[in-house]
Structure formats: structure tokens, C-alpha cells
Structure 1
Amino acid sequence: MNPFESLGLKHDGRTLWVLDQTQLPDAEVWLDGSEPEAMIALIKRLAVRGAPLIGVAAAACLATFARRGASATEYATACAALRAARPTAVNLMWAMDRMKGAGDPVAEAQAMFEEDVRLCEGMAQHGSALIQDGEGLLTHCNTGGLATAGIGTALGVIRRAFEQGKRIHVYADETRPLLQGGRLTAWELKKLGIPSTLVTDSMAALLMRDGRIQRVLLGSDRVAANGDFANKVGTYGVAVQARFHGVPFHPVAPFSTVDLACPNGAAIPIEERDPAEVRGYGALRWAPEGMPTWNPSFDVTPVDLVTSLVLDRGVYSAAELRSGVLRQVCL
């Protein structure tokens, strides 16, 4: 493959390197993700994450595997295994389906990387127009350059508004249980110089009550055909709070996150992760050993709580989403 680089992924022409996001914010460690088995392990333990980036990374891995001489059978087996690595983020399935039928896997993966960069620019253009000067913005989980090949989805929108000179302040939920907001979003916001404050997930309602949040922007791992969407667990609660307080609520996603085969949120598979993630983090444990836990990685927010969905192709209101507009714009 031709060399390329993003915030969390790079290829030197022979080896695919992945920034280990589990070691952020204190250490920037790059790991070899060239082999399918290695990439599957990296995806499963969230060393590489973010729906768009997972798809691009898996495609680049598969292309590298093909260039290194994998047989047709080995390629097909690896493609199927990568596709199954995470069940909720539809971009992974979308990317592997494209790679499965690609005549030239290297060219297809390269095109996918470049396409994701363009999609991020589209979302940034459409979404930044919603943000007004002086607004306080709430975001959840991580949706920036660590989650995509480009500048990001929701955080890309925020970044573009900041670059346009709009005076904004971002409140980043820490995002339980793996703290992607605290470890990753805060790290990106600091690198970009965007005024920001880290808060716990349970503080969002207070911020809205006190008038410090004028808009919520966050990402999505799968958007159903009717506009329901899955995102990092806690998103549904933020949506309910935003509706109560009259705060506009906008999921941001590329068209590749839209699953037209999924009629509504009830049909979205929700990944459940290791219960130990709720009892602590790393070597630190704050709950009794063996305490029963429930750890869904995502929740589903119904379209009725959405103000508008920001896609790379435009901004669509809840009424438009319920009318089936996604079938028109995402085919």
C-alpha cells in the first residue's frame, strides 16, 4: 500500500501500525496490526476503536495480508473473522463486504481510507453550521481523529466550528466504563487547544439545568433505517436529559454507519463486554471482587429524541428520518 497516516493509524508501505488507544493519554505506543489475528485482538480489546476507524483499519490489514501473499482461502477466512470481531459497529461489516468483493484489495483499502477523510470533511461542513458562537457543547465517548481516518465525526464538527473562530466550550463526558471521554476526547481537545472541561457522565443533567449546554453532539456506531441509533452506553440517558431541558441533540455519522437492512433500534445487536470493566480499570479495582455487573457497551436512542442527524451528505430532522429519507440519501 502507499504510505498514509492519521491520528490513530499509519502505513509505511509494508507494515500497518495502530496507535494503542488503551495506553492513552500517558503513552503513545504504536503496535503492528498487519496480520488479521493481531488486528482482531486489537479491535476486541479496543486498542483500535471508533466505528469508522475499525472499518478502515480492518480493510488496511486485509490489504496488507493480501500483498504479503495470502491465498484466496486465507484471505476469505481472514475477511470473515475480521467482520465478526465486533458486533455493533456496522462500518466493520460494510468495510469487509467491500473487501470481500474487491478485485484489487490494496486499491480498495486505500480508497476507503481516502473516502473516510472526505466523509469527515462533509460532516464537519454540515454540522459546524449548526453551532452558534458562544455555545457550550456536550459530547460523549470519543469521536475525533482517534475514531476515524480524518478529523472525526462529532468532534470533527466541533473542531471545524472552533477553526471558524466560534467561541465554544466543550464539556466531555468521561464515558464509563472505559473512560474514552476522559482518556481520549480530553487528550484530543487538549492537543487541538479547544476550551474544554471533563465531567463525569452523571453531571450532564446539572450542566443542562444550569444553562451551560446549548447543544449535544456525539457519534454513532449504527444508524437504523428509521433514524434510531446505537452509540456508547450512556447516550440514551443524555438524549432524555437533553429533551427535558430543551437542548438540541445531534448524532453525527458518515453514511457508512447507516444500516438500511436494520429497520429500527430493536434490531441492532448490542455488544456486552467483560464485567470486570465495571469493577475497575487496569490494576485499579473499586468494587468487591466478583461483584455481579451488567456491561452493555452500547445503548439505543430512539429517533423521537433526535433533533437532527448530521451525515456527510446533509443534516436531516427527526421528521425526515421517520419518513424514510435515509433510504434515499444512503443508497
Structure 2
Amino acid sequence: MVAPADTHVYPVLWQDDHLVLIDQRQLPERYTIVAIHRCEDVLRALRSGIVQGGSALGIAAAYGLYLGASELQTHDRAALWERIEAIGDQFKQVRPDKAHLQWAVKQMLTVVRQHSGAVDDLQAQLLAKAQAIQADDFTLCQAIGDRGLASLPADPAQLTLLTHCNHGALATSGYGTSLGIMRSAWRAGRLARIYAAETRPTLQGSRLTAWECVQEGIPVTIVTDSMAAHCMQQGLVHGVLVGADRIAANGDTVSKIGTYSLAVIAQAHKIPFWVAAPVSTIDFAIASGADMTITQHPPEEIYALGERITSPKGATFYNPASDMTPAHLITAIVTEQGAIAPDQLHILATKES
């Protein structure tokens, strides 16, 4: 199956009575659609990597909670609440490091807590809330794109920007955060080229980000992660734009493994380093990056490329999914409310309250 002609990529869609997902594990070799009708299958899709990226995970989980509620044949509100609470915990545990996933589950559970009518009406409200979470995400990603575009330096007129992992349409509702800024820059004539770091070990940059760029006709050059410093040294990169899984109150940011090293290299070359994420990614209850969880991924991501084993028996493996970039290495954090210095995030906390 070929990708749709529409240059927007929608990784999660609700159609009639079921969920439609792009199987991101198959890209770029195959464009495969998965139809899901059961809550259990949504959980499996999130665990297996069919859906990737914090916002996309949160949107899929929201629909999963609705499916879980609709599968329970009862008019007992207490039984329904117990069921949805348990489902919510399951979704939270899929990726505890993804702040937007945790936020979306919390939003759905709030609907249940605040509802006092019939069970059928509650199920309808849960579906409406999941759809609202998806629609709102698209709007705020466009806002991040526009705010980020406004914060880019005026010189040169056309920029070359480097990114890491995938924080684009596939990771959100269809526009992206860091890649959303680049998308806005491309449409405004401000972007000359994207350098996409391949993002070892599972290659989200070369597989997913580059695929998105090709769909929209954005010039993209794939480099290995170890080439980033050389590209900066050669003057090929004007700035680095990345996304975030979670941001602490002080601006410390957890994102895909390899992000921290890019920030260090960018500072060494006096190149701006921006983080793009919705305000919901900021956890104001966490003081600093020292208090944030780093998830460990399975070792086979490192020692196998498809069916080929690339490491000798007897070696051990360390495979953290993310790393923490200290706030002092970040030029600005771009949210739907604008670009802000990491040490000024308390202003956003005041706006949220």
C-alpha cells in the first residue's frame, strides 16, 4: 500500500468504530495500516512499537481507554470506574517516561471522575474527549511550528537544521514538534535542508523522519549519529532542533538517547540548540532531571540488525532509551505558548494554574 497523496501523515485515526494506525515498525520499506477494535490490541500496539512518540502514544491510549470502557457490558458505575482505572494504569506503564502519555490518560480519567450520568453517556463522552485530545494536539503542534519559526535567527535567510529521532507527524497527531518547526520553516521558505541523524539503535531518524521529509518534498540528508560533530565543524548546520519526552521544572530535558551528546557538541560549536514540546510535556512536580526516569530497552536492539547478529557472544549490553540534557545546554524551549529560556519555565506554570 502506498502512502496517501495528502502530505500530512496521520499515525492515529478514529474511523467509525475502530482505530486505524500506521505501523511505524514497517517504515520506510512498507506503508502498512493496522485496524484495531479492542483495548487489548491498542496496548499491544503501543508495547510493540506500532505507535511511537509521546503525543501519538497519548492519543492512541485515549482511544484505548474508550474502547476498554465500551467493551464492559455493565450499567454499574463503580464496576466501570474500576475497569477504566485499571486500564489507565496499564497504559501508563507502557512508557512511564512519556509525559504526554501520562497526561492523556489523566485527562480521560478526569472525564470519568466528573461524570454523574448514565454509563452510555459516559462512553460517548470518553470518545469525544479522545477526539478532542487528538484535534487539540494538531492545533498546538501547528502553534509550536509557528512560534518556533518566529524564534529562528533571521540570518541566513535559508537555514540548514539538524534533528534527532522522530518528533514529527508520526510522533504526534500529524504535524510534529521539532519537525513541525522545520515543516513551518519549509513552507515559509526559511529552510534549505534537514540533516536527520539516523538515531541508533532503532533508526527513527533515518527510517521515520527522513520518510516524512520525502513525503512532503523537504530536502533531507541522513547522517550517522557519529557524524554530527563533523557536520557542525564543517559549517553545514545552523542549528539543532529536537523534541522531548519529559521536561523538569528547571528545564532539564529527557529525550531520545543521543540528544545530550548533540547538545554538548552544539555548545562547543556555538550553535543554537532548541527543544520543542507542548506545555503538557513539562512536569512541574519534578524539580530537575536527576528525578526523571530513564527507561531501559531490550539488548537485541543493539546486537541485531534484522536477522544479522552484530556483536560477539559473551558481551553485555547497556541500552537506555533516553538521556537527560541539562537546561544550561538548551538555547530555548519552544511550546505552543512561544519560545522561552529553560530557567523561565515557571512563567508557564503560572499560566497553567
* Band of TM-score, shorter chain: over 0.9
Counterpart residue number, 1:99: 108
**In the alignment, is the contact (CA less than 8 A) between 1:226 and 1:326 conserved in 2?**
no
Matched, 1:27 2:51: no
**In the alignment, is the contact (CA less than 8 A) between 1:67 and 1:106 conserved in 2?**
no
Counterpart residue number, 1:124: 145
Deviations 1:185-242 (A, max 9, x none): 0100111111110000011101111111111101000011111110000000000000
SS of match in other structure, 2:210: helix
Equivalent of 1:212, from 220, 236, 239? 236
- Spell out the pairing of 1:237-248 with structure 2 (5 A cutoff): 237-248=261-272
**In the alignment, is the contact (CA less than 8 A) between 1:52 and 1:92 conserved in 2?**
yes
Q: Distance in 2 between matches of 1:48 and 1:70?
A: 28
Deviations 1:298-323 (A, max 9, x none): 000010000000001111023424xx
Judged with a 3 Å threshold, the aligned counterparts in structure 2 of structure 1 residues 199 and 168 are, in CA distance, closer, same or farther, namely: same
Residue identity opposite 1:98 in structure 2: Q
**In the alignment, is the contact (CA less than 8 A) between 1:174 and 1:199 conserved in 2?**
yes
* Structure 1 unaligned regions, length at least 5: none
Q: Which moved more, 1:294-303 or 1:258-267?
A: 258-267
TM-score (structure 1 length as normaliser): 0.94
Counterpart residue number, 1:61: 64
**In the alignment, is the contact (CA less than 8 A) between 1:215 and 1:249 conserved in 2?**
yes
Seq. identity, %: 37
Judged with a 3 Å threshold, the aligned counterparts in structure 2 of structure 1 residues 309 and 90 are, in CA distance, closer, same or farther, namely: same
Residue identity opposite 1:113 in structure 2: Q
Counterpart residue number, 1:87: 96
Judged with a 3 Å threshold, the aligned counterparts in structure 2 of structure 1 residues 328 and 244 are, in CA distance, closer, same or farther, namely: same
* TM-superposed deviation, 1:325: 2.7
SS of match in other structure, 2:94: coil
Structure of larger gyration radius? 2
Counterpart residue number, 1:135: 159
**In the alignment, is the contact (CA less than 8 A) between 1:36 and 1:82 conserved in 2?**
no
* Structure 2 unaligned regions, length at least 5: 1-7, 75-79, 116-124
**In the alignment, is the contact (CA less than 8 A) between 1:121 and 1:150 conserved in 2?**
no
Q: Distance in 2 between matches of 1:98 and 1:287?
A: 44
Matched, 1:40 2:62: no
Judged with a 3 Å threshold, the aligned counterparts in structure 2 of structure 1 residues 96 and 290 are, in CA distance, closer, same or farther, namely: farther
- Spell out the pairing of 1:149-228 with structure 2 (5 A cutoff): 149-228=173-252
What is the RMSD of the two structures over their aligned residues, measured on CA atoms?
A: 1.6
Matched, 1:314 2:338: yes
* TM-superposed deviation, 1:329: 3.6
Q: Distance in 1 between matches of 2:320 and 2:347?
A: 29
Equivalent of 1:74, from 56, 74, 83? 83
Counterpart residue number, 2:294: 270
* TM-superposed deviation, 1:9: 1.2
Counterpart residue number, 2:349: 327
**In the alignment, is the contact (CA less than 8 A) between 2:244 and 2:277 conserved in 1?**
yes
Instruction: Give the number of equivalent residue pairs.
Output: 325
